[in-house]
Amino acid sequence: MNIKVLGASGSEVPGHNCPAFLIDGSLLLDAGTVGMSLNITEEHGVREILLTHAHFDHIKGIPFLLDNLVIRNTRNAITVLSGRDVLDDLRKNIFNDRIWPDFTRIPSARRPVLKFRALSPSRAVAIGGYKVRMEKVSHTVPAYGFIVENAGKKAIAYAGDTGPTDRFWKAIGAHDVRCLIVETSFPNRMENLALATGHLTPSLLEKELAKMPKPPSRIFIMHIKPQYQMEIETEIQALDRENIDFLKEGDVIRI
Ligand SMILES: [Zn+2]
Ligand SMILES: [Zn+2]
């Protein structure tokens, strides 16, 4: 599996993009950044988007991706997959013919560029050659983490935005997860804000990793608020775990 980092930041400032990770050129984990990072051919390759939740920094790339595909008349469709609650939010609040067109009817209701597919937590489904399992995590809105397993049974786990949680870490133990992408949004001194907004600090992350009997051998940090980057990186390094790395735009993870 080849995972290209289109965005790995907890906000948008020059050089830092919102979260999106492209697996093998076709399957997106979140879509905070798409059109700014992919060329035309790469955009045409995207088939499915696994969406962790409906917060703006994770969906921001979808409206323009759809617009680009329709304008170029590529005839390929994008399927957005998530919990029913997340998809309902997108339908009602974004693709509602007010904020943005209802792309489930464009260019035609029969062959739309946008499709939604609701997934049930804890049930593995086959999606584009992968086995995908979705589990609920703990955020301020309905939010899910994903475990994506390839035909060779190697898996990547993507927790999305979450504060302290349990179910997702337990699910990871049932798969051969080679790498975990997990958020750390705030420094330790802002733990109260992190907990109130459903996010992690380095010390909260340490407690989450301790919940797993056998954490994945490679752990990648994302969703750092750029304003606190130095502070958070220093605190993560102080955890003294050799297998933790920081993701940045343009990185490629291979498992
Ligand atoms: Zn969020
Ligand atoms: Zn976020």
22 closest CA partner among 36, 1, 41: 1
Check: CB of residue 46 under 8 Å from CB of residue 78.
Answer: yes
Q: Look over the chain and give the mean of its residue pLDDT values, rounded to a whole number.
A: 96
β-pairing verdict for 20-23 and 27-29: antiparallel
SS3 content of the chain, % helix, strand, coil (to 5): 25, 25, 45
How remote is the CA of residue 111 from the centroid of ligand 1, in Å?
A: 31
Q: Give the per-residue pLDDT at 125.
A: 97
HSE-up (13 A, CA, CB side) for residue 251 = 21
Q: Give the per-residue pLDDT at 74.
A: 83
How remote is the CA of residue 47 from the centroid of ligand 2, in Å?
A: 22
Q: Give the per-residue pLDDT at 136.
A: 98
Element (H, E) at 86: helix 84-93
Q: Tell me which ligand sits closest to the C-alpha of residue 141.
A: 1
How remote is the CA of residue 144 from the centroid of ligand 2, in Å?
A: 12
Q: Tell me which ligand sits closest to the C-alpha of residue 143.
A: 1
| Cβ-proximal residues to 2 (8 Å cutoff; 6+ apart), any chain | 23, 24, 25, 252, 253, 254
How remote is the CA of residue 53 from the centroid of ligand 1, in Å?
A: 7
Pick the CATH number of 2-254 from 3.60.15.10, 3.40.50.150, 3.50.30.30, 3.40.50.2000: 3.60.15.10
Using the Cα atoms of residue 105, residue 55, residue 180 and residue 82 in order, give the sign of their dihedral.
negative
Q: Tell me which ligand sits closest to the C-alpha of residue 30.
A: 2
Q: Using the predicted structure, report yes or no on whether residue 214 has a pLDDT greater than 90.
A: no
Mean pLDDT of 68-90: 95
The pLDDT tens digits for 105-146 are: 999 999 999 999 999 999 999 999 999 999 999 999 999 999
How remote is the CA of residue 159 from the centroid of ligand 1, in Å?
A: 11
Mean pLDDT of 223-233: 97
Q: Using the predicted structure, report yes or no on whether residue 224 has a pLDDT greater than 90.
A: yes
Q: Using the predicted structure, report yes or no on whether residue 213 has a pLDDT greater than 90.
A: no
The pLDDT tens digits for 30-56 are: 999 999 999 999 999 999 999 999 999
The pLDDT tens digits for 151-193 are: 999 999 999 999 999 999 999 999 999 999 999 999 999 999 9
3-state secondary structure of 4: strand
DSSP state of 162: -
Check: CB of residue 157 under 8 Å from CB of residue 216.
Answer: yes
Q: Look up residue 113 and give its amino acid.
A: V
The percent of residues in the chain predicted with pLDDT above 70, rounded, is 100
How remote is the CA of residue 56 from the centroid of ligand 1, in Å?
A: 8
β-pairing verdict for 27-29 and 252-254: unpaired
pTM of the predicted model over 0.95: yes
How remote is the CA of residue 132 from the centroid of ligand 2, in Å?
A: 21
How remote is the CA of residue 112 from the centroid of ligand 2, in Å?
A: 28
134 closest CA partner among 80, 55, 210, 60: 80
- Write down how long the chain is: 255
